[in-house]
Amino acid sequence: MEPVIETFESRKKHMCVKGEGISIPVCDKASLPGTVTQRTCVFGGARIVLMPITDSIHLVHGPIGCAACTWDIRGSKSSREDLYKKGCSTDLQEKDIVFGGEKKLFETVLELYNIYKPGAIFVYATCVSGVIGDDIKAVCKKAEDLTRCKVIPVQSEGFQNHNKTKGHWIGGDALLDYVIGTKEPEETTPFDINIVGEFNVAGDLWGIKPLLEEMGVNIISAISGDSHADEIAQAHRAKLNIVQCQKSSNYVARKMEKKYGIPFIKVNFFGLEQTTNSLREIADFFGDQEMIQRTEKIIERGLKGVEDETREYRKRLEGKTVALYVGGNKAWSLVRAFEELGMNVMMSGTKNGIKEDYERIKEVVQDGTIIVDDANSTELARLLKKYRPNLLISGAKEKYISLKLSIPFCDFNHDRISAFAGFKGFVSFAKEVDASVSSPVFNLASKTLSKVSKTPSNLGGDENAS
C-alpha cells in the first residue's frame, strides 16, 4: 500500500485511510524530538480549560515566558468581567530557582487578591515550579485561609506528558477538587443543567444559551465559558450535564456522574442536524411534554430561513473538499456541518488524539478519508501539497503554512471572531467558509512565475494552474 505521504518510518503508522483495513492511526505517543510539532504542553492544556472563567485571576507560577506568551489568547468572550484576560506571573528568577519560589508565590497571591478581590485565584504550576519542587498546594491553602478567597492549585507542570489532554484533565481536576460542590444554589428546578466543555470562543455559548433557556432548561453553570467560579461551585446540583467539547470535558462529566450521580449526554451545536439532535436529546432526557413541544417549535423556527440564508454559499461550496487539522473534538464534530454545506471532508486529524477520538472520527467520515495523528509542520505541508484540499480548518500556527501553499484557510480556534454554534451560528459558519474558499486571491496565488510570464494573457481564473 502506498504511504499517505513520505515521512519517517516511525511516523508512517500515524496516518491512515479509512476503509483500507487499518482505520485508526497509531496515536497518543510522544512526538519525535526535532520535529516542528503543533502540540503544546500540559500547562497549555490546563490553562485553556480554565482561562474562560472570567471573574478569576489566572496566575502562572514560573518564569515570565509561560505567562507572557499565553495571556489573553483564548478568544473566549465575557459578558461581565475581564479579569481573566490579565497576564499574571510570579516571574521566577535565578535566586528563586535556587532557594525555592513558595514565598514569592504566597506574596504574589496576596497582592493579586488585594488588588482585584477576584472570584477565585487559579495557580498554575509550570515546568520550573515542578523541577524545583515548590509545594503549590500548601501555599494555596495558606493563602486561602488568610484571604477566604478560593486559591486553587493547578498541577500543570508542562512536561508531564506529551499529550495536552492530560492538561485538560488536570484543569478539570482543579474544578472537581476545589470548586464544584462548594456552594449550594439558592433555588433548584427539575430542569437544572450544566453546559460542560463550552468555552464561549467568539461567543458560541450565546448562540446556544437562549435556545436552551427558551426550552425551559435552567443553566446553573457553563464550564467554563463566560462563567464565574461561584456558578461552577453550584454545578453539583444539576440534573444533567450536556457536554459540548468532549475531547476536553468528558472527563469532568464522567467524574461528576460518579461523584454526584449527574448523568451526561454528548451534544454538538455545530451544524443543523447536530444542533437539532442535541436539543431533542435534552428535551427527551427530561421527558417533559411541554418542553418537547417547545423544543420542536424552537427547531422549526431555527431552521426556517437558514436554507435561504445559506443557499448562495452552498452553491459555491458544493463538491469542494476540506481538511480538518484541529485540537480534538472538532475533528469529528465538524464533519456533518461541512457535509451540510455540500463539502467533502477528505482529511481529518488531531494533534493530541487518543484512541477514543480516532474511533469517533472513523465513525463519521466517509471511506477514503485520510486520518492523521500529530502531523508536524513538514508533514502537514506535504499532506496539503499532495492532496490539495480546497480548504484547511485549523488554528493560527497552521494558518500561514496553508496560505503559503495557496490553500484557503479558515480559523476554528482561539482566533476565530464569529460564533459558529446553533442555527444562527451555522449561517455565520457558511459565510466564513465561503469567504475563505471563494476568495479570488487564490486564483492569483496559484500561478507560478514561469506560467505568468509565458502566458501573460492568462492571469486570472485558470483553475488548472498550480
Partner 1 sequence: MSVNVMERERTAIINPLKTCQPLGAMYVVTGIRRAVPLVHGSQGCSTFVRYSFSRHFREPSEIAVTSLHEDAAVFGGRRNLVEGLQNVATRLEPSLIGVITTCSSEIIGDDVIGFIKTAKDELKKKIGEKKTEKVKIIPISTPSFVETHLKGYDNAVKALVDHVAEPSEPNEKINIIPGMVNPGDIREIKHMLRLMNLEGILLTDISDPFDSPLRPSATEFKPYYPKGGTTVEEIVDSANSSGTISLTKYAGSGALSLEKKYNIPAELGPIPIGVKNTDQFLRNLKKITGQDVTDEILDERGLLIDSMADLASRYLFDKTVAIYGDPEITSGIARFVGELGMVPKLVVTGANNQEFVKDMKKVGKETGAEIDTMVGQDLRAMEVYLKDNPVDLMIGSSDARLMAKEYEIPLVRVGFPVYDRVGYHRHPIVGYNGGIHLIDLITNTVLEKYYEPEHWKLQQ
Classify each residue of 5-14 as buried b or exposed e, where b means 16 or more C-beta atoms within 10 Å of its C-beta: bebeeebeeb
Nearest residue to 202 via CA among 436, 39, 432: 432
Looking at residue 185, what DSSP letter applies? -
Q: Which of 261, 449, 463, 464 binds partner 1 (CB under 8 A)?
A: 449
- Residue 349 has φ and ψ, to the nearest 5°, of -155, 160
Nearer to partner 1, 65 or 263 (CB): 65
Nearer to partner 1, 63 or 302 (CB): 63
310 binds partner 1 (CB under 8 A): no
Restricted to residues 390-419, the positions that interact with partner 1 (CB under 8 A) are: 396-397, 399-401, 403-406, 415
Residue type, 57: I
CB of 222 to partner 1, least distance (A): 23
Q: Give the DSSP per-residue string, 49-101.
A: HHTTBTTEEEEEESSHHHHHTTTT-S-B--SS--GGG--EE----HHHHHH-S
Residue 26: CA atoms inside 13 Å, Cβ hemisphere, count? 9
Nearer to partner 1, 19 or 65 (CB): 65
CB of 109 to partner 1, least distance (A): 8
| Per-residue x/- track, 330-369, partner 1 (CB under 8 A) | ----------------------------------------
Nearer to partner 1, 8 or 284 (CB): 8
Nearer to partner 1, 88 or 419 (CB): 88
CB of 258 to partner 1, least distance (A): 27
CB of 167 to partner 1, least distance (A): 9
Restricted to residues 69-108, the positions that interact with partner 1 (CB under 8 A) are: 69-71, 73, 82, 85-94, 96-97, 104, 107-108
Nearest residue to 396 via CA among 418, 416, 373: 416
CB of 415 to partner 1, least distance (A): 8
Q: Which of 26, 240, 354, 445 binds partner 1 (CB under 8 A)?
A: 445
CB of 71 to partner 1, least distance (A): 7
- How many residues bind to partner 1 according to rule CB under 8 A? 77
Nearer to partner 1, 82 or 177 (CB): 82
Nearer to partner 1, 239 or 447 (CB): 447
Nearer to partner 1, 100 or 216 (CB): 100
**In sequence order, which residues have a C-beta less than 8 Å from that of residue 196 and are 6 or more positions away?**
223, 241, 242, 243, 244, 249, 252, 253, 256, 264
Set of cell numbers at residue 69 = 506568551
Nearer to partner 1, 86 or 280 (CB): 86
429: helix, strand or coil: helix
Q: Which helix (H) or strand (E) holds 240?
A: strand 240-243
| Per-residue x/- track, 124-163, partner 1 (CB under 8 A) | ---xx-xxx-------------------------xxxxx-
**In sequence order, which residues have a C-beta less than 8 Å from that of residue 344 and are 6 or more positions away?**
319, 320, 321, 322, 338, 366
Cα distances (angstroms) measured from residue 174 to each of 81, 101, 123, 375 = 21, 21, 10, 30
Nearest residue to 78 via CA among 181, 203, 162: 203
68 binds partner 1 (CB under 8 A): yes
Find out whether 352 and 380 touch, Cβ atoms under 8 Å.
Answer: no
CB of 241 to partner 1, least distance (A): 29
Restricted to residues 244-273, the positions that interact with partner 1 (CB under 8 A) are: none
The single residue listed with the C-alpha cell 496515536 is 27
CB of 377 to partner 1, least distance (A): 6
Classify each residue of 184-221 as buried b or exposed e, where b means 16 or more C-beta atoms within 10 Å of its C-beta: ebeeeeebbbbbbbbbbbbbbbbbbbebbeebbbbbbb
66 binds partner 1 (CB under 8 A): yes
Residue type, 196: V
Measured from the Cβ of residue 279, the count of other Cβ atoms closer than 10 Å reads 26
**Bond into 56 cis (ω within 30):** no
Nearer to partner 1, 37 or 182 (CB): 37
Looking at residue 326, what DSSP letter applies? E
d(CA 163, CA 157): 12
Nearer to partner 1, 37 or 218 (CB): 37
Q: Which of 448, 455, 458, 462 binds partner 1 (CB under 8 A)?
A: 448
Nearer to partner 1, 292 or 403 (CB): 403
What angle do the packed helices 422-437 and 205-215 form, to 10 degrees? 150
Q: Which of 3, 22, 99, 115 binds partner 1 (CB under 8 A)?
A: 115
CB of 441 to partner 1, least distance (A): 9
Restricted to residues 30-59, the positions that interact with partner 1 (CB under 8 A) are: 30-41, 43-44, 59
Set of cell numbers at residue 422 = 446553533
Q: Which of 26, 64, 265, 306 binds partner 1 (CB under 8 A)?
A: 64
CB of 30 to partner 1, least distance (A): 6
